[in-house]
Structure 1
């Protein structure tokens, strides 16, 4: 069930301006302590309160997402529906450093540094890079007034925030605060990460077919879910070069 939307381009250049805005009482001005706080999340996450777009174009906070819920996403040419599979990681109380990216359209999103973000290359192809590599002038896909358009990054700052969430969807992407983002982090390839999550997506589909409630267990526990945790450790052992840890 797909809905067609026109893709527009808006290529505007800005002067780079990056600000570190973190409470000095937490870091005492030490880059080492800032790095430690940044690594408090074992997977790439979105900040608490990030708004996720539903098919009716209403938005709900990321912490309210439930398995099986339909969301909107895009492949860069059309906007279509995807489903929430599971929450890979969540923590309401822990603090982490987020890269807050703002675009000329007024959209913004806060992600941990190794969370993959799709940027639009000069040939209009999509390239997924870590949030920490996003720079002013990069083009991102955003949804504005129900239309898919590109918008230029105007600012990138570092912020200390409390609470983080890492949802997985069937498409591996979603709109976070209206910006197209990946569900994956700590990996070098969005495509490889999406393929590796194939078994989870298949089980999610099978559970729906068999009307199994909560196929991944009760997800009130605040930590990395055991399934992606085991998968990560396996990849780390068998193919460590596929991971991005810094």
Structure 2
């Protein structure tokens, strides 16, 4: 039995490696483009246009300011320096401040740099590709508006290395595609881009439920996300659409004290589910007879009023129409993984996965974790304790290492339309 499970683990790992490696195209030496999908036409911004079409400081954009960060502030240690060779920094102050920014801002700026070089590749080596040029990033001199996100390293003002102002409208569109949370064609000289705070759990963890969300156990009891443990059997949905209880084999993420930006989807029959923006939930677009081929797994942030959620009952599934979507910050970050890859939360069927809006790929990517869980059932178990009287095992917290690896790979492979490789 152990040998069979080991073979299954090897096959699962090999499948995921082939699956991920198949998403890129290799070619000969020198600069090249690795394309995952056809390049989309961009619609340039016009002066003063911003996306999303809300205030920069709203939850749906970059969120409220946390306050200026000075060099002596403990929060300054959380900022990073950007030394990406694909980005040009003006560094007008001659103190390196234009390289200082939040981790999220750095990530999005580097994604934008790739997109800019793909948009205007030039003809190396005679004509080098156009690069993104940072005119302003972190500002500790308080030269911007009273609540500017530049003071927190959460904003950058960018242009192109060739100083061609006719490219600014397209540059703004590329910044949106790169994942900046708010982008404005602010002036004739630059584009203003900003991001949410790194402290937002919705950014760090991607797909989670709130601690107050409830699940149904196989013994008929109801527990909150904060109460369930690995080994519990919770209501879920099989791949063929049948309601069944599935074992929790791990927590991909768990943080009792973490805060995140959560979307709550409300239905006409009183149910509601609360989850982060990039968490997958099942919907049906029309209230007709329910079949597997009519179900779609979509990000919570993309669910619209009028669509239908799947309501999981003891032995059946019914539909209930979405009547409202609300957004708020809540405490508690929980991402349980069941063997089925689905879970019924607050009576609504959801996926255990996030970020990749393809259930088949997501479920396959976690096959090694399921295989390891099966193997571990036949291995000796050990109990660790801090003293002779304590034999308890603390509930793991933080992001699971395997989920973190997949999240990192996923951001690299799936968050960009194309990758520019030297």
Does residue 220 (structure 1) correspond to residue 220 (structure 2)? The answer is no
- How do 1:124-163 residues align onto structure 2 when only pairs under 5 Å count? 124=291, 125-144=294-313, 147-163=316-332
Give secondary structure in 2 for the equivalent of 1:46.
Answer: coil
Deviates more, 1:182-191 or 1:110-119: 182-191
Measured in 2, the distance between the counterparts of 1:150 and 1:84 equals 25
Distance 1:227 1:44, change over 3 A: same
Give 1:42 deviation, angstroms.
2.2
Identify the residue that residue 369 of structure 2 maps to in structure 1.
Answer: 200
Contact conserved, 2:206 with 2:277, CA < 8 A, in 1? Answer: no
Q: For this pair of structures, how many residues does the alignment match? A: 217
Q: How far apart, in 2, do the equivalents of 1:67 and 1:219 lie?
A: 11
* CA shift for structure 1 position 138: 0.9
Match of 2:262 among 76, 98, 102: 98
Bigger drift between 31-40 and 203-212 goes to 31-40
Shift of 1:38: 6.1
Higher normalized strand content (fraction of residues)? 1
Q: Which residue of 2 aligns with 1:113?
A: 277
Alignment pair present for 1:58 and 2:95: no
Residue 180 (structure 1) aligns with? 349
Structure with the bigger RCO (C-alpha within 8 Å, sep 6+) is 1
Q: 1:234 to 1:77 in 2, by over 3 A?
A: closer
Shift in CA distance, 150/97, structure 1 to aligned 2, threshold 3 Å: same
Cα contact 2:212–2:224 (8 A) shared by 1: yes
Unaligned stretches of 5+ in structure 2? 1-57, 66-146, 150-180, 183-193, 384-392, 418-422
TM-score under structure 1 length normalisation = 0.77
Name the CA distance, whole Å, in 1 between partners of 2:370 and 2:316.
Answer: 28
Distance 2:220 2:269 in 1: 17
Secondary structure of 1:102's counterpart equals: strand
- Relative distance call for 1:167 and 1:132 in structure 2 (3 A) is same
1:146 CA drift (Å): 5.9
TM-score normalised per structure 2:
0.46
CA RMSD of aligned residues (A): 3.0
